[in-house]
Structure 1
Amino acid sequence: MVQPRHPSLISAALFSSSPPPSSGVSLKHQHGRLVLEVPLPSRNEKCLFFLRPMLMTVGDLIADLQREDSGATAFLLSTDGQHVANMTLLDTLLEKDFQLVINNEVYRVSAPEKVVTSSEHARNLEDMKHVVHLLHTALHLPEHQLLQERQLLERMDTIKQELSPLEKMKAQLSQTAEFQTSRALWTGMALLSVQGGALGWLTWWVYSWDVMEPVTYFITYATSMAAFSYYILTKQDYVYPDVKDRQFLRYFYKGARKKQFSVQKYNKLKDELKQVEEDLRRLKYPNQLQLPLEQIQQKP
């Protein structure tokens, strides 16, 4: 017995026991079109199928065969017995010979003769094929894209529902952190004002400048040491906007820990929502699906 883990051996055994391919199928040019003549088993007659190699796939050809003869089970094989995927374009398939299997009856199909053309005409023909394929992809949206759009809309709605309570909590935490940051800045301003007033009072009313000059020197030196310590601890210069932002984040994360607000979860949901919106925008404009992201982003 052949073990199931060797599908290639099974395929070889099946095809070795099957009858050799017959030549009942013909593929030729007729009236400027490529025509496939196939015998249908249920109708006991041959039927002509006009092919569009640049627009049709293997799955389209099999669907046409089964639509014409509901009792027919068909699939395509390469000359070495390998299955041909349904998404393969007929234009690619017709470059080599292949086999058509209908209800266990194997038919060998020869590739059609190619018209000899100049190299420039061949390049123009290939460019035209590429343009036609892109237009077909852009103008005929597959069903799986519509299904994907529906799934993306459902995913976006789910993400927004999860984000709604987090957005409210984030707004409250941001408001509290902004208030505490402003209060810390005004407290620092008040302390500096008190310090300046105390130094002036001690200089003009209690002591003289000769006494207060060393005091002010050491106060300035201590302030420089404090600024340098801030740089060592934070690896940032003591710039007032940066200090304000750092203090805001400190109060925000402190409040988030108290309220059990997950910043990582919030950021992850925001990234997912942005990605879903970008995917939906691409699906609405199918001619941009194959463009790089930087070429389709809206300019500010």
Structure 2
Amino acid sequence: MAASRTGSKLFGFYRSVPQSCAVFKTSANPLQTLSQWSLPYACCSTVAPSSDLSVQYRHGHPVLALPLPSRQEKCLFHLRPMISTVSDFIHDIQREDPGISTASVLTTDGVRIASTTSLYTLLNKDFQLCINGVVYNVQAAPTESVSSEAVTSVTDMKDMVHMLHTALNLPKHHLIKEMQLQKKLDILKEELMPLEQMKAYLVMRAEHRSSRALWTGLALLSVQGGALAWLTWWVYSWDIMEPVTYFITLSTSMGVYAYYVLTKQDYVYPDAKDRQFLHYFYKGVKKQKFSVERYNALKDELASVEDDLRRLRNPNRLQLPVEQPEPNSHAALP
């Protein structure tokens, strides 16, 4: 009785079905009817997409159809093997789909490839692309590849663009550099002006004192000669003064030898005069607190700026190649 009531209820349910589903009325088995009803839903199950990708060439350029996780659709990426790197490729993928948090390129063995690797090197072999933890096996293009002629052509084109950029921007760069050097030259001259005035004063004072020392030496020698003559012919005889002159000559020789021992230089009058000049000059430097080190540093920097200006103006005015600097000695204090 319970079974018959259940069956009547089921058959009553099918009797309430519209005419479009009248096919269930002719079924004698309700369970068979229910299984037929569930068949369309079984056919709607999804299958995981394939993780195998391949690089293809279209119109001579490599392209890669990559599924994006956020959109659930494939996106075609045009690769530039000559000028792009792995970092540029990953940046393009993340910019196309902001939902991609992690992306990396691996070898077929699972070793991470550096972001500075060029796409030209990457596309020569198969590799793996890991996006948000999903690994895609990417196969390199089997047939078409970038030829050596294309590489040479691209390199020549880059060189030509660089030469054109240099030809267009070099005069402007030279002009800006010349203005900077001229401004620096004016600043150095302003800083050197008081030092030059102080140096000129110290040089004049040292020259005057060294010349006065020479004239003093000449006067002393004249007095010595006059005294010896007076003692020889008016006071004493030559027999008495001869040993005196001998010892005076010996003392002079000992003094010259002592000069060599102390200075490691021969007693030559020009060198002795220069040495006396430097003695008086640095004595005045110490007294006036003149910075010789700063003066020499400014003079060297000024000479360097003037050399740069001279070398920079030659190609601008005469259209000549830039000269190489030559080592030379600049005027600096000893």
Percent of matched pairs sharing the same residue: 52
**What SS does the corresponding residue of 2:271 show, helix, strand or coil?**
helix
Cα drift, residue 153 of structure 1: 2.3
Residue of structure 2 in register with 1:11 after alignment: none
Task: Kindly report which structure 2 residues correspond to 1:38-187, keeping only aligned pairs within 5 A, or say none.
Answer: 81-83=114-116, 113-115=147-149, 139=167, 140-141=169-170, 145-187=174-216
Q: Cα deviations across residues 111-153 of structure 1 (Å, max 9, x unaligned)? A: 853359xxxxx9xxxxx99x98997698551765544433322
Cα drift, residue 216 of structure 1: 0.6
Measure, in 2, the Cα distance between the counterparts of 1:225 and 1:154. Answer: 58
**What SS does the corresponding residue of 2:170 show, helix, strand or coil?**
coil
Contact persistence 1:166–1:266 (CA under 8 A): yes
Residue of structure 1 in register with 2:110 after alignment: none
Structure whose CA Rg is larger? 2
Q: Cα deviations across residues 149-185 of structure 1 (Å, max 9, x unaligned)? A: 3332222221111100000111111111111011000
Measure, in 2, the Cα distance between the counterparts of 1:134 and 1:293. Answer: 25
Q: 2:249 aligns with which of 203, 206, 220?
A: 220
**What SS does the corresponding residue of 1:238 show, helix, strand or coil?**
coil
Measure, in 1, the Cα distance between the counterparts of 2:215 and 2:53. Answer: 91
Task: Kindly report which structure 2 residues correspond to 1:234-249, keeping only aligned pairs within 5 A, or say none.
Answer: 234-249=263-278
- Structure 1 pair 262–22 and aligned structure 2 pair: CA distance change class (3 A): farther
Give the TM-score of the pair, scaled to structure 2. 0.51
Deviates more, 1:136-145 or 1:233-242: 136-145
Q: 1:193 aligns with which of 211, 214, 222?
A: 222
Deviates more, 1:189-198 or 1:139-148: 139-148
Residue of structure 2 in register with 1:89 after alignment: none
Q: 1:205 aligns with which of 234, 240, 245?
A: 234
Aligned residues: 221
Cα drift, residue 281 of structure 1: 2.0
Measure, in 2, the Cα distance between the counterparts of 1:188 and 1:249. Answer: 18
- Structure 1 pair 23–241 and aligned structure 2 pair: CA distance change class (3 A): farther
- Structure 1 pair 96–235 and aligned structure 2 pair: CA distance change class (3 A): farther
Residue of structure 2 in register with 1:270 after alignment: 299
- Structure 1 pair 171–135 and aligned structure 2 pair: CA distance change class (3 A): farther
Measure, in 1, the Cα distance between the counterparts of 2:53 and 2:185. Answer: 53
**What SS does the corresponding residue of 1:273 show, helix, strand or coil?**
helix
Residue of structure 2 in register with 1:293 after alignment: 325
Measure, in 1, the Cα distance between the counterparts of 2:255 and 2:287. Answer: 30
**What SS does the corresponding residue of 1:219 show, helix, strand or coil?**
helix
Structure 2, unaligned runs of 5 or more: 1-51, 62-81, 85-112, 124-140, 329-334
Give the TM-score of the pair, scaled to structure 1. 0.56
Q: Cα deviations across residues 7-49 of structure 1 (Å, max 9, x unaligned)? A: xxxxxxxxxxxxx999699897xxxxxx9xxxxxxxxxxxxxx
Measure, in 1, the Cα distance between the counterparts of 2:254 and 2:53. Answer: 92
Contact persistence 1:282–1:288 (CA under 8 A): no
Measure, in 1, the Cα distance between the counterparts of 2:56 and 2:174. Answer: 38
Q: Cα deviations across residues 264-286 of structure 1 (Å, max 9, x unaligned)? A: 11111101111111122222235
Q: Which amino acid aligns with 1:114?
A: S
Measure, in 1, the Cα distance between the counterparts of 2:256 and 2:250. Answer: 10
CA RMSD, 1 decimal: 5.1
Residue of structure 1 in register with 2:70 after alignment: none
Measure, in 2, the Cα distance between the counterparts of 1:241 and 1:21. Answer: 90
Cα drift, residue 242 of structure 1: 0.5
Measure, in 2, the Cα distance between the counterparts of 1:167 and 1:24. Answer: 75
Measure, in 2, the Cα distance between the counterparts of 1:223 and 1:197. Answer: 17
Cα drift, residue 231 of structure 1: 1.1
Structure 1, unaligned runs of 5 or more: 1-19, 29-34, 36-52, 59-79, 85-92, 99-109, 117-121, 123-127
**What SS does the corresponding residue of 1:141 show, helix, strand or coil?**
helix
